[in-house]
């Protein structure tokens, strides 16, 4: 089935190679951020990217924290004196992210906007603006820019140059084989891949309207796991690392309870960079479920009854 989402996903290896070949803007941005605590803000998929960014920047010894853009804009959770700011937005125009960015720049806070190509005021551009509302390439592009920033600030992020090939393999390899369960599709991962699980749940829900949840593995175990049963499916995202054994224990326990369990592993690049191929894996789950169910993965539910009421709230 033709869709802008499928076309955009296919170009992700090329997009990543282009970004990795363009380090100069990253060096300039890193110079503004160096020596400060960094607050990363975003909404939706960009909120997940902000959390991935905090994990990556920690490799450089940076005190980094992710804050939802809404909380930073309205509840005083933004940068403190001496901090710097990284704002993530596909378009550069997300309402509360833009509010935080404008306020920071007015107050003289060093700020970096990571956004799609052509976005007003972008310090680090990612990829061309997407035609599908299910953002894929711009999310991986943001992760690539965050990994480049972490490296420029002295972090050992691992073999970043291997990411495009790993993404190509994740796109071209056998599909994840996930079908819609009768009740709930749960996604989980350990460490940084808790945010990959959250991104997968978001992508599935917005492309094909299947009930999903994405939790960290330990958060899933401590409570929500008791509600999983034969009407549910569980996707376990294994990037290796210290949580992998525990993740397998959760997968095995869920299978014993009758849950249909899908294990997806990507360990070759190390846990921090596993988020790239595992993000592609959850993007594929979302796309392939939409194609199975006959929904439009591009239109953010615009064809659903009453959808206009959400658009009226503004983005």
User: Domains, the chain, ranges and CATH?
Assistant: 4-157 (3.40.50.10490), 172-293 (3.40.50.10490)
**SS3 letters for the chain?**
CCCHHHHHHHCHHHHHHHHHCCCHHHHHHHHHHCCCCEEEEECCHHHHHHHHHHHHHHCCCCCEEEEEHHHHHHCCCCCCCCCEEEEEECCCCCHHHHHHHHHHHHCCCCEEEEECCCCCCCCEECCCCCCCCCCCHHHHHHHHHHHHHHHHCCCCCCCHHHHHHHHHHHHHCCCCCCCCCCCEEEEEECCCHHHHHHHHHHHHHHHHCCCEEEEEHHHHHCCHHHHCCCCEEEEEEECCCCCHHHHHHHHHHHHHCCCEEEEEECCCCCCCCCHHHHHHHHHHHHHHHHHHHCCCCCCCCCCCCCCHHHHCCCC
Say what the pLDDT of residue 307 is.
77
Say what the pLDDT of residue 243 is.
98
pLDDT, one tens digit per residue, over 223-260 is 999 999 999 999 999 999 999 999 999 999 999 999 99
Say what the pLDDT of residue 306 is.
79
pLDDT of 75 > 80? The answer is yes
Give every CB contact of residue 37 below 8 A, 6+ residues apart in sequence.
62, 63, 64, 65, 80, 82, 83, 84
pLDDT of 194 > 80? The answer is yes
pLDDT of 266 > 80? The answer is yes
Structure tokens at 172: 């071209």
pLDDT, one tens digit per residue, over 86-116 is 999 999 999 999 999 999 999 999 999 999 9
Say what the pLDDT of residue 314 is.
77
% of the chain residues with pLDDT over 90: 94
0.85 exceeded by the pTM?
yes
pLDDT band at 160 (very low <50, low <70, confident <90, very high): very high
What mean pLDDT comes out for the span 44-72?
98
pLDDT of 1 > 90? The answer is no
pLDDT of 158 > 90? The answer is yes
Map tokens 């990507």 to a residue. Answer: 266
pLDDT of 177 > 90? The answer is yes
Rounded to whole angstroms, how far apart are CA atoms 250 and 256?
10
Rounded to whole angstroms, how far apart are CA atoms 278 and 270?
12
Say what the pLDDT of residue 207 is.
97
pLDDT of 69 > 80? The answer is yes
State the average pLDDT for the chain.
Answer: 96
Say what the pLDDT of residue 309 is.
79
% of the chain residues with pLDDT over 70: 100
């Amino acid at each position: 089935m033709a869709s802008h989402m499928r076309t955009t996903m296919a170009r992700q290896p090329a997009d990543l190679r282009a970004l990795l070949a363009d380090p100069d803007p990253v060096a300039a941005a890193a110079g503004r951020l160096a020596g400060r605590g960094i607050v990363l803000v975003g909404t939706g998929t960009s909120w997940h990217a902000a959390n991935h960014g905090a994990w990556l920047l920690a490799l450089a010894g940076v005190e980094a924290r992710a804050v939802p853009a809404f909380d930073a804009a309205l509840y005083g959770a933004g940068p403190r004196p001496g901090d710097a700011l990284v704002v993530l937005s596909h378009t550069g125009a997300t309402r509360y992210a833009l509010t935080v960015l404008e306020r920071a720049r007015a107050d003289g806070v060093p700020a970096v906007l990571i956004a799609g190509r052509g976005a007003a005021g972008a310090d680090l551009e990612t990829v061309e603006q997407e035609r599908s509302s299910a953002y894929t390439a711009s999310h991986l592009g943001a992760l690539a820019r965050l990994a480049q920033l972490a490296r420029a600030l002295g972090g050992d992020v691992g073999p970043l140059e291997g990411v495009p090939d790993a993404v190509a393999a994740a796109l071209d390899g056998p599909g994840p084989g996930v079908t819609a369960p009768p009740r709930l599709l749960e996604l989980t991962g350990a460490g940084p891949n808790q945010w990959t699980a959250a991104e997968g749940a978001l992508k599935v829900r917005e492309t094909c309207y299947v009930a999903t949840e994405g939790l960290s593995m330990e958060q899933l175990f401590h409570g929500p796991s008791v509600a999983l049963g034969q009407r549910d499916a569980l996707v376990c995202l294994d990037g290796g690392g210290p949580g992998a054994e525990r993740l397998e224990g959760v997968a095995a326990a869920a299978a014993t309870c009758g849950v249909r369990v899908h294990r997806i592993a990507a360990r070759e690049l190390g846990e921090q960079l596993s988020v790239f191929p595992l993000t592609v894996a959850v993007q594929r789950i979302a796309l392939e479920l939409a194609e199975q169910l006959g929904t439009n993965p591009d239109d953010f539910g615009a064809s659903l009854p009453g959808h206009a009421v959400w658009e009226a709230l503004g983005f």
